[in-house]
Amino acid sequence: MIPRYTLPEMGELWSEPSKFRHWLKVELAVCRAMADMKLIPQKAWRNISRKADFNIKHIIKEEAKTNHDVIAFLTSVKKFVGPDAKYIHFGMTSSDMLDTALSLQMKKAAKLIDRRVVTALSKIRRLAKKYKMTPIIGRTHGVAAEPTTFGLKIAVWYTELQRGRERFRIAAEEAAVGAISGAVGNFANIDPKIEARACRYLGLEVDKVSSQVIQRDRHAAYVGALAILASSLERFGTEIRNLHRTEIGEVMEGFAKGQKGSSAMPHKINPITAERLAGLARLVRGYAITAMENMPLWHERDIAHSSAERIIIPDSATAVDYALKIFCDLLDHLSINPKRMQENIFIYGGIVFSQRLLLKLTDAIGDRDKAYPMVQRNAMRAYKEGTGFYELVRADREIRKYLDEAEIEACFDLSYYLKNVDKIFTRTFAK
């Protein structure tokens, strides 16, 4: 991932030095397991554990010669360890180390991401509760529908992100496995007990059965869950972008002192953070497709997945980590305009109360098909002429045959739409 979208902790996790440290950690765990089982001398293990290290410049030089990164790495480690290096990677294949080390990195990345999700959930919850009873237009098809509350809009985000967190937790847990099973996964040259011990030292579960590689459905689920998380953030950002529109103006992104929205138009305040969330989500969704393409490898393994995974797994984790960070920043600096929300509810003289009027009129007439055109004609006229819907209804002689002044006024009572919000919040934020 480019530095612009890489946060320090996640960036360090996926750095080249970190990659090699995780490779070495796997090799050391296997050597330790072998020493426990007296398959290598304790003296050799002590020497390996004390001296094992690597030099990145040497690895790069060796890989240029061998065209094999794992051999280059092991050659570098051997220079530090000496003759006892013959016990390192004994009975293993490259994928044993690569896949198990990748699982370690993915597990650590998942913890960083989960921490940010928890922060985002806390901020969403606080915002939802603060604006629980703040009326706002609910829109369908981008068109004013009926009143709801801004807090209720945000509460919907809360449960969606909760599901995203759980989905990713399960995927990360399924991906946190190691495999030290040899060239085609049949343990011909290494004991399954070594795998079990090594994985325990590493904090990973054992992959019950593998070919030469850990099967890529685990990785596809992991990246797929990240893509859904990113898509949820995009959805939340899209709502903010729409409410930020000049003609709506109910919510705006924060605008810092000295910030400029446009090189050409000084008046511009653009929802750039929410738009960035959309762009990052598109990227991660593309990675999810690639992760699924990586699943059908040939026979016990090929390396068609390898080149893609070097990009998609670090990048998807890094992009979502960054997206969660800027989403939290976005929530912290939102500018909320309840006055504009109220004004928009009564646009065209309160056409959004049409269903309430329809129900009241249907009850009075006893026929919905007769009531509907009576309400609709007034709504259409309000749209066309910009005349107040409420005033048109009050002046409609046919409607007045069935409803008196007080009954019509009751249909435009905003509190009617807020009466069950408390109940929704109780079940949404129940512990």
In the structure, what pLDDT confidence band is assigned to residue 413 with cuts at 50, 70 and 90? very high
Q: Are 68 and 116 in the same domain? A: no
Q: Collapsing DSSP states into helix, strand and coil, what is residue 68?
A: coil
Given this model, what pLDDT does residue 266 score?
74
Looking at the predicted structure, is the pLDDT value of residue 152 above 90? yes
User: Would residue 257 count as lying in a domain?
Assistant: no
Q: Are 381 and 338 in the same domain? A: no
Across all residues in the chain, what is the average pLDDT?
A: 94
Give residue 185's Cα distance to chain centre.
33
In the structure, what pLDDT confidence band is assigned to residue 418 with cuts at 50, 70 and 90? very high
Looking at the predicted structure, is the pLDDT value of residue 268 above 80? no
Give me the mean pLDDT over the 161-173 stretch.
98
User: Of the residues 342, 358, 386, which one is the last residue of a structural domain?
Assistant: 342
Give me the mean pLDDT over the 270-291 stretch.
95
The domain that holds 306 is classified in CATH as 1.20.200.10
User: Would residue 51 count as lying in a domain?
Assistant: yes
Given this model, what pLDDT does residue 343 score?
94
Please report, to the nearest 10 degrees, the dihedral formed by the alpha carbons of residues 401, 407, 412, 414 taken in order.
-160
Please report, to the nearest 10 degrees, the dihedral formed by the alpha carbons of residues 296, 112, 311, 202 taken in order.
-60
User: pTM for the complete prediction?
Assistant: 0.93
In the structure, what pLDDT confidence band is assigned to residue 262 with cuts at 50, 70 and 90? low
* Cβ atoms of 324 and 233 closer than 8 Å: yes
Given this model, what pLDDT does residue 20 score?
97
User: Would residue 74 count as lying in a domain?
Assistant: yes
For the chain, report the end-to-end CA distance as a whole number of angstroms.
37
Looking at the predicted structure, is the pLDDT value of residue 386 above 90? no
What is the distance between the alpha carbons of residues 244 and 252, in angstroms, rounded to a whole number?
A: 5
Q: Are 114 and 21 in the same domain? A: no
Q: Are 77 and 108 in the same domain? A: no
Q: Are 197 and 75 in the same domain? A: no
Looking at the predicted structure, is the pLDDT value of residue 239 above 90? yes
**Catalytic choice (141, 267, 299, 415):** 141
Domain hosting 380: range is: 346-428
Beta strands in 276-372 (DSSP E): 335-336
What's the sign of the alpha-carbon dihedral 95, 97, 100, 101? negative
What is the distance between the alpha carbons of residues 203 and 197, in angstroms, rounded to a whole number?
A: 10
Neighbours of 259 (CB within 10 A): 10
Q: How far is CA 411 from CA 358, 361, 426, in A?
A: 9, 10, 27
| Radius of gyration over every alpha carbon of the chain, rounded to an integer in angstroms | 30
Q: Are 199 and 62 in the same domain? A: no
Neighbours of 252 (CB within 10 A): 21
Q: Collapsing DSSP states into helix, strand and coil, what is residue 139?
A: strand
Looking at the predicted structure, is the pLDDT value of residue 271 above 90? no
| DSSP labels, 257-296 | TT--S-SS-TT----HHHHHHHHHHHHHHHHHHHHHHTS-
The domain that holds 372 is classified in CATH as 1.10.40.30
Q: Are 190 and 314 in the same domain? A: yes
Q: Are 272 and 336 in the same domain? A: yes
Give me the mean pLDDT over the 179-192 stretch.
92
Q: How far is CA 301 from CA 198, 211, 220, in A?
A: 22, 7, 16
User: Would residue 106 count as lying in a domain?
Assistant: yes
Given this model, what pLDDT does residue 65 score?
94
Q: Are 320 and 176 in the same domain? A: yes
Q: Are 391 and 363 in the same domain? A: yes
| 305 part of the active site | no
What is the distance between the alpha carbons of residues 93 and 183, in angstroms, rounded to a whole number?
A: 5
Given this model, what pLDDT does residue 387 score?
75
**Catalytic choice (262, 307, 333, 335):** 262
Given this model, what pLDDT does residue 241 score?
95
User: Would residue 392 count as lying in a domain?
Assistant: yes
Q: Are 166 and 191 in the same domain? A: yes
Give me the mean pLDDT over the 273-279 stretch.
95
Give me the mean pLDDT over the 251-264 stretch.
75
The domain that holds 79 is classified in CATH as 1.10.275.10
Given this model, what pLDDT does residue 256 score?
66
| 262 part of the active site | yes
Neighbours of 430 (CB within 10 A): 6
Looking at the predicted structure, is the pLDDT value of residue 261 above 70? no
| Residue (of 364, 358, 350) closest to 401 by Cα position | 364
Q: Collapsing DSSP states into helix, strand and coil, what is residue 138?
A: strand
User: Of the residues 321, 342, 363, which one is the last residue of a structural domain?
Assistant: 342
User: Of the residues 281, 312, 342, which one is the last residue of a structural domain?
Assistant: 342
Q: State percent of the chain over pLDDT 70.
A: 99
> How many structural domains does the chain have?
3
Given this model, what pLDDT does residue 269 score?
78
Beta-bridge mates of residue 138: 146
Neighbours of 335 (CB within 10 A): 13
Give me the mean pLDDT over the 195-215 stretch.
94
For residue range 110-129, list pLDDT tens digits in order: 999 999 999 999 999 999 99
For residue range 327-375, list pLDDT tens digits in order: 999 999 999 999 999 999 999 999 999 999 999 999 999 999 999 999 9
141: left (phi over 0), alpha (psi -120 to 50) or beta: left
Looking at the predicted structure, is the pLDDT value of residue 173 above 90? yes
Q: Are 61 and 188 in the same domain? A: no
Given this model, what pLDDT does residue 302 score?
85
User: Would residue 285 count as lying in a domain?
Assistant: yes
* Cβ atoms of 103 and 178 closer than 8 Å: yes
User: Would residue 64 count as lying in a domain?
Assistant: yes
User: Would residue 40 count as lying in a domain?
Assistant: yes
